[in-house]
Amino acid sequence: MTVSRFRTVLYTIVAIVAVAGLADATYLTVQALTGETLSCGGSPDCFRVLGSSYGKLGGIPVAMLGALAYFTVFTFAIFAAFGYSCAQRFVALIAGAMFLMTLWFLYVQAFLLHAYCRYCLFSAALTFLIAGLLIAVPPSGRRSGA
């Protein structure tokens, strides 16, 4: 497999993982908007997290921001898979920011709320996977798009 082909495959996997994250975050966004944080899998810990003050940022559900972030990663990963070099930089930038936010939310769950939301942990795992895949992408030379 050539380096270019390998890169395309990795970005395609990143895009697929981002779609999984998008689905998870969309589900949580709907729950937040309908006030159904209570029935999230029947787990009390889950809504202790989602119903907490950390569940919103400036009045916007964090899940909605997460959905937006996953969609952005998906978009740039697709373009990167098609060879758009500047998309590769953007996907790395957004994924880096998501990685840091994920660390913060894990800290909040572990040390401030003492409760874990399984949907949030799933999202954290996906973010780590995306970050791992992006680290594995071989550095590219300058390319001028598709």
Partner 1 sequence: MTKELSRRNSLLLSRMKRYLPFIIVVGVALVTFGSGAMLYHAKRPQLKAIPEDKALSANSGSESMHIRGNPDAPVTLEEFGDFQCPPCGSFARFAEELLKEYDSRVRLIFRHFPLSAHEHAREASLAAEAAGLQGHFWEMYDVLYREQAVWSKAPNTRELFESYAGTIGLNVDQFKKDMDGEQAKARVDSDYARGESLEIKVTPTLYINGQPVDPKDKNPEGVRAAINAVLAGKPHA
- Site for partner 1, rule CB under 8 A: 19, 22-23, 26-27, 29-31, 33-39, 42-44, 47-48, 51-52, 67, 71, 74-75, 78-79, 81-82, 84, 114, 146
- Which of 80, 76, 120 has the alpha carbon at shortest distance from 102? 120
Site of tokens 């598709």: 146
Nearer to partner 1, 13 or 51 (CB): 51
Smallest separation (angstroms) from partner 1 to the CB of 84: 8
Residue 78 or 124 with smaller CB distance to partner 1: 78
Sorted by sequence, the CB contacts under 8 Å of residue 123 that are 6+ apart come out as 21, 24, 25, 66, 102
- Residue 47 or 131 having the CB closest to partner 1: 47
Chain mean position to CA 62? 12
